[in-house]
Structure 1
Amino acid sequence: MLRLLIADGNTRDDRAQHVAVTGRTSAESYADVVHAYRPEAQCRLLSPADADAALPDGTALTAYDGVIFTGSPLKVGERSPAVTRQCDLMRAALEAGLPVFGSCWGTQLAAVVAGGDVGPNPRGPEYGFARRITATAEGRGHPLLSGRGAAWDAPAIHSDAVIAPPPGARVLAGNALLEVQAIEIPHGGGLFWGTQYHPELDFDELAAMLRVSAADVVEAGLAPDAAAVSAYAAEIAALHAGGAAAGPLAWRHGLGADVLEPDQRRREIGNFLDRLVETGAGAP
């Protein structure tokens, strides 16, 4: 049985907002995806941004087979207590020799902990989808990207990114806007696999996050006003609802099975869980 620790990257206020617009926390969303692949998995949810967050008494990180870090609107460069506590947890997990997976914020945390550089992407943010991601020479054949085609799209919502990978890291995928879309980072005996994009997000959750980020989308020059962002988000939500409108909307937005089909969209998470099982994690 897999035992996973899922670290929610959001502060208490951000978690409350996320629940208000999506109905669940980011960690709960990840747990749902994990259980879709491994129904028997035990997921412990932790909010390391909180000063009072702690594992159950007597429980060590090594009691878990792996750790997953969610996304977050926080910025690593702020170095606030909510950020440093999460850096400490990432460092501790890797130094304990654990396999770790993260998307967006999780990838940025791992890169900084291992000696890389994170900051605003000089080529601009991605809001909605990261387009035409392709594997690098090192990424082709890497188990994190198993099942991915020659190019794929993925849900994405970020302005910061890994600008300089840490020493020893392997950049596995990128696109025209960002060189580091997927990465492997060894550190302290542990191994991190991560993506800058969000394989865990369903379209309804992506739509809700776009509405919350409307001011940032407008400021980035990607939409003329909040109403335009809302209209775009409504179409993304309609894709999630399915029905007769889904086909024309997918055509209009140029989206294919790589992002429309849940198993394909979540491919990297499934591959991470498969690797845990293959290496004997969760054995009785």
Structure 2
Amino acid sequence: MTNAMLRLLIADGNDRDGRAKREAAIGSTTSQAFAAVVGDLAPEAACTLLNPADAVAGIEAGLDAYDGLVLTGSTLRLAEGGPAVERQLELMRAALEAGLPVFGSCWGMQVAAAVAGGEVGKNPRGPEYGFARRLAATGAGAAHPLLAGRGHAWDAPAIHLDAVLSAPPGACVLAANAVLDVQAIEIRYGRGLFWGTQYHPETDLDELAAMLRLTADDVVAAGFAADLSAVGTYADQIAELAGDDEAIRRHHAWHLGFGPDVLEAEQRRREIGNFLKHLAMVRSHKGRERDRVAR
């Protein structure tokens, strides 16, 4: 996939404490991991990493210097409020009002929905830890470019307690499952366009395994596992799905009920690739417009 010269701003949804805990457990921050995925999908893209939860966000150039913004997942919760949350709401609002295309997963989608007037809170049907199962496109989502290449139903990495409970006015819900009515969404706000998912198409399987170990107490408290040992066993199986032993991969895929949507990186990252294609198209269109005006 070619996205020459794309300039992408990747905003880490975590505060300093969240970033430090994740880096200690996993070896990278959320924004670093997301940038690595972008690098695989679009090697020519230039990613600038940003920590908007901090008092000094660090945007050295204005938002108009970028082709798009990504807001990652986070351990923060909108209901808790505070400066770290407010700064990210302000960034999302500013980006969309400036007409910047934005992608967000999990926390990123919740922030965009809140800015646009949606309701975000604890999902009354419960959390998802590990995977969102049996995701399906809505009627509108079936033809939407964010979900291009997805099948009739798919599974995806997911870890969340909160969710978008009510879509913003005028938003288009693109995917849902039995646990949550808003699993993917398009939001138009100001001059901007937001595409997002509650699940994590950017998350690799070894990373997901580490995140499950990090949240093991919550997984047990939610009733998904009998004890911490069971979480560890499940996380080990997920990690081995990313390994080189094909026999083990086949065994775990059969045992856990996973197909190509989880096992194949290109398919698992489908929404990220589609967003990058969208950015490339927007950039190309702007270039043609500049050439036309110059003539």
Q: Identify whether the pair has TM-score above 0.5, normalized to the shorter chain.
A: yes
- How far, CA to CA, are the matches of 1:120 and 1:235 in structure 2? 28
Q: Does 1:265 align with 2:279?
A: no
1:151 — aligned with what? Answer: 153
Following superposition, the deviation at residue 210 of structure 1 comes to 0.5
Q: Does 1:280 align with 2:283?
A: yes
Which of 249, 253, 258 is the aligned partner of 1:250? 253
What RMSD, in angstroms, separates the aligned Cα atoms of the two structures? 1.2
Report the TM-score when normalising by structure 1.
0.97
Question: In structure 2, what residue type is equivalent to 1:21?
Answer: A
1:8 — aligned with what? Answer: 12
Q: Deviations over 1:106-150 (max 9, x none)?
A: 000000000000011111100001001000011011000000000
Identity percentage of aligned residues: 63
Which of 86, 89, 101 is the aligned partner of 1:87? 89
After superposition, residues 155-170 of structure 1 pair within 5 angstroms as 155-170=157-172
Q: Deviations over 1:18-76 (max 9, x none)?
A: 111211111111111111111111100000011122211xx111110000011001101
2:106 — aligned with what? Answer: 104
Query: Which of these two proteins has the greater Rg computed from alpha carbons?
Result: 2
Question: In structure 1, what residue type is equivalent to 2:43?
Answer: P
Following superposition, the deviation at residue 242 of structure 1 comes to 3.2
2:184 — aligned with what? Answer: 182
Question: In structure 2, what residue type is equivalent to 1:258?
Answer: D
Question: In structure 2, what residue type is equivalent to 1:14?
Answer: G
Question: In structure 2, what residue type is equivalent to 1:273?
Answer: L
Following superposition, the deviation at residue 17 of structure 1 comes to 1.3
Q: Deviations over 1:89-115 (max 9, x none)?
A: 001000100000010000000000000
Q: Secondary structure at the match of 1:108?
A: helix
Which of 39, 56, 63 is the aligned partner of 2:43? 39
1:49 — aligned with what? Answer: 53
Q: Deviations over 1:182-215 (max 9, x none)?
A: 0000001100000000000001110111111111
Q: Which moved more, 1:83-92 or 1:220-229?
A: 220-229
Q: Secondary structure at the match of 1:241?
A: coil
Larger relative contact order (CA 8 Å, sep ≥ 6): 1
Which of 129, 135, 138 is the aligned partner of 1:136? 138
Where structure 1 has 5 or more consecutive residues not aligned to the other structure, the ranges are: none
- How far, CA to CA, are the matches of 2:50 and 2:147 in structure 1? 27
1:240 — aligned with what? Answer: 242
Following superposition, the deviation at residue 280 of structure 1 comes to 2.3
Going by fraction, where is helix more abundant, 1 or 2? 2
Q: Secondary structure at the match of 1:51?
A: coil
State the 4+ residue runs in structure 1 displaced beyond 6 angstroms. Answer: none
2:175 — aligned with what? Answer: 173
Where structure 2 has 5 or more consecutive residues not aligned to the other structure, the ranges are: 291-295
Q: Is the 8 A contact 2:67 2:283 kept in 1?
A: no
Q: Which moved more, 1:189-198 or 1:28-37?
A: 28-37
- How far, CA to CA, are the matches of 1:38 and 1:4 in structure 2? 11
